[in-house]
């Protein structure tokens, strides 16, 4: 009788422990490529019209933030392990999706779709 109770409890405990270990390692903060710098993660696609619009916006406004903010661009159609991991981590379901992370690696803003240049510039100014 005791063996059965131990076996049954192990059947429930082992998956629970595995779940807890997996969820702890999958934190909601990203590691920035350069310590102490805010980061932009831009999910984009070459065939997306809104993505092309946002690329133009970034070409115009990002040069003044170069060196202050790290920009990571992820082409969603390029299927590699890093891209897949980032897409899952940030739950990206449409492009363009732009994730703004502060200097601590915490997500402060999520932008889905195209936005005007001035609005994007304001978000970047407020990014610490």
Q: What is the reported pTM?
A: 0.71
Instruction: Residue 1: count other Cβ atoms within 10 Å of its Cβ.
Output: 5
Under DSSP, the state recorded for 31 is: P
CATH top-level class for 39-125? alpha beta
- pLDDT given at position 93: 93
- pLDDT given at position 16: 65
- pLDDT given at position 127: 87
- pLDDT given at position 70: 94
Question: In the chain, where are the structural domains located?
Answer: 39-125
Q: pLDDT tens string for the chain (128 positions)? A: 777 777 777 687 777 666 555 544 333 334 435 568 999 999 999 899 999 999 999 999 999 999 999 999 999 998 899 999 999 999 999 999 999 999 999 999 999 999 999 999 999 998 87
DSSP string, 54-95: HHHHHHHHGGGGBTTBEEEEEETTS--HHHHHHHHHTT--SS
Q: Please list the helix, strand and coil fractions of the chain in percent, rounded to the nearest 5, in that order.
A: 45, 20, 35
7 three-class SS: helix
- pLDDT given at position 14: 73
């Amino acid at each position: 009788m005791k063996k059965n109770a131990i076996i049954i409890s192990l059947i429930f405990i082992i998956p629970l422990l595995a779940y807890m270990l997996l969820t702890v390692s999958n934190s909601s903060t990203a590691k920035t490529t350069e310590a102490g710098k805010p980061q932009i993660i831009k999910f984009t696609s070459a065939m997306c019209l809104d993505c092309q619009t946002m690329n133009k916006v970034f070409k115009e406004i990002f040069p003044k933030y170069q060196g202050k903010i790290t920009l990571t661009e992820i082409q969603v159609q390029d299927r590699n392990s890093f891209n897949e991991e980032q897409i899952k981590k940030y739950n990206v379901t449409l492009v363009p999706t732009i994730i703004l992370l502060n200097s601590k690696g915490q997500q402060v803003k999520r932008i889905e779709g195209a936005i005007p240049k001035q609005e994007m510039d304001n978000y970047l100014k407020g990014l610490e």
